[in-house]
Structure 1
Amino acid sequence: MNNIGTAPKNTEFEAIFALPDPWGFESLWYEARKRELLLAALPHRRYGRVFEPACANGLLTDALARRANEVLAMDTVPQAIALAEQRLATHRNITLRVGTLPRDWPAQTFDLIVLSEFGYYLSSDQWQQVVARAAASVSEDGVIVACHWARPFEGRTLSTRVLHACVGRQSGLHRHAHHLEPDFELDVWSPNPRSLRSREASA
């Protein structure tokens, strides 16, 4: 689970990021498999500009950077950004930034926006602002992907079902992928209604 928002407090996240392997990002097959499923669900082979809030220690960021021209990765915890800087030092197409959503949403257009494992820490109003800004910031042929832990836990403010339904209600977005497991839910939307196969057939 990644982190951005108001609860838990940053001091709690700082303690977690001081651990050798926060949330088992590196050691758990569950986490590695989930990253691979998210990447496989993306309809384009490559993206121009990517925004990944709640990047944590940069494991997913590393993979995204290999399929993008530019990646802007953000986290509310400075310690997480410091870990990401160490991991991603060899990449020249990644910008890392400390920031909190929705307040620090960047004034740019993105071809891929990754809303992963942080929405349940926000209030309903904060999440609605995040989702509205994502819908307004995604390019015409761009993609919004959301992936969140589905089980109850202490500190959760919104269910994953509610989080993803909020994205799906945004005007002009079409869902291209839906993956549901007992532990997590993964959805992909785009302003472009055409499927990947139909686009390639007419290329």
Structure 2
Amino acid sequence: MTSANAEYFDGLYRDQDPFGYRSRWYETRKRDILLATLPRARFARGWELGCSNGETTRGLAARCEALLATDVSSQAVALARQRVGERSNVQIVQAQHPQQWPSGSFDLIVLSEVGYYLALPDLTEMIERIQDALVPDGLFVACHWRHPFAEAHQDGNQVHAQIAAQLSLPLAYRYKDSDFLLEAWTTHPQSVAQQEGLR
């Protein structure tokens, strides 16, 4: 993602909710589905790439002992900090990925509505680095709008196809409707019922 992208998104975020994350039922429903599909009640250390104005960040903060949220836009980061408030377990920082990369590893990484803004070389590097940043039983979740649009290098289906082609992790679960695709990968996929010894 180039500095031009940062300038583009800073311009968008002069409107506090440019994508309707706070106002549209579509976005609320999608966010609720993403959070509901997470197979663990709690995660030790999570990372949200592309936190936007912090709506999903709030939900993830309640599920993670520690959460890192990043966005290329300084305006988005400021809005996310306002939305999340004074939560000691959340760190929200401006960063450009894959060029800038956090230290340490994560047991949850969420990439939502970001992949198609990256040119293919950056996307492939990001996917490779995401897999390396997961702990051995970590979960990687991707969620993307499926339709092409002017600013996208590829659509969400192509982003997920690239992720699946590169990862050595098996698919844990998938939700797909006419508008968005949500998929998750982990080393040893187990249903919630399996985790709780119900089968």
Deviations 1:131-189 (A, max 9, x none): 11111111122110000111111021022222112222345411111111121110011
Answer with 163-172 or 58-67: which moved more. Answer: 163-172
Alpha-carbon distance in 2 for matches of 1:87, 1:43: 25
Q: How many residues align?
A: 199
Answer with 51-60 or 185-194: which moved more. Answer: 185-194
Question: What is the aligned partner in structure 2 of residue 124 from structure 1?
Answer: 120
Give the unaligned 5+ runs of structure 2: none
Aligned-pair identity (%) = 37
Alpha-carbon distance in 1 for matches of 2:137, 2:192: 11
1:48 to 44, 47, 51: 44
Pair 154,9 (structure 1): closer, same or farther in 2 beyond 3 Å = same
Question: What is the aligned partner in structure 1 of residue 100 from structure 2?
Answer: 104
Question: What is the aligned partner in structure 1 of residue 65 from structure 2?
Answer: 69
User: Alpha carbon RMSD of aligned pairs, Å?
Assistant: 1.7
Shift of 1:201: 1.5
2:181 to 164, 185, 188: 185
Shift of 1:8: 6.2
TM-score, with structure 1 as normaliser:
0.91
Alpha-carbon distance in 2 for matches of 1:113, 1:190: 11
Give the unaligned 5+ runs of structure 1: none
Checking the alignment, whether the CA contact within 8 Å between 2:127 and 2:167 is kept in structure 1 is no
Select the structure with the greater relative contact order (CA < 8 A; seq sep ≥ 6). 1
Alpha-carbon distance in 2 for matches of 1:197, 1:167: 27
Q: Which stretches of structure 1, 4 residues or more, deviate above 4 A after TM superposition? A: none
Pair 12,176 (structure 1): closer, same or farther in 2 beyond 3 Å = same
Pair 178,130 (structure 1): closer, same or farther in 2 beyond 3 Å = same
Q: Which residue identity does 2:36 align to in structure 1?
A: A
Answer with 56-65 or 192-201: which moved more. Answer: 192-201
Question: What is the aligned partner in structure 2 of residue 93 from structure 1?
Answer: 89
TM-score, with structure 2 as normaliser:
0.93
Alpha-carbon distance in 1 for matches of 2:174, 2:43: 20
- Please say if 1:21 is aligned against 2:50: no
Alpha-carbon distance in 2 for matches of 1:176, 1:106: 25
Checking the alignment, whether the CA contact within 8 Å between 1:111 and 1:143 is kept in structure 2 is yes
Q: Which residue identity does 1:100 align to in structure 2?
A: Q
- Please say if 1:160 is aligned against 2:156: yes
Checking the alignment, whether the CA contact within 8 Å between 2:145 and 2:155 is kept in structure 1 is no
- Please say if 1:201 is aligned against 2:197: yes
Alpha-carbon distance in 2 for matches of 1:134, 1:71: 16
Deviations 1:60-117 (A, max 9, x none): 0111000110001101111111111111222110011110110112121101000110
Checking the alignment, whether the CA contact within 8 Å between 1:55 and 1:61 is kept in structure 2 is yes
- Aligned pairs for 1:28-47 (under 5 A) are 28-47=24-43
Shift of 1:200: 2.1
Q: Which residue identity does 1:69 align to in structure 2?
A: E
Alpha-carbon distance in 2 for matches of 1:136, 1:84: 27
Checking the alignment, whether the CA contact within 8 Å between 2:111 and 2:141 is kept in structure 1 is yes
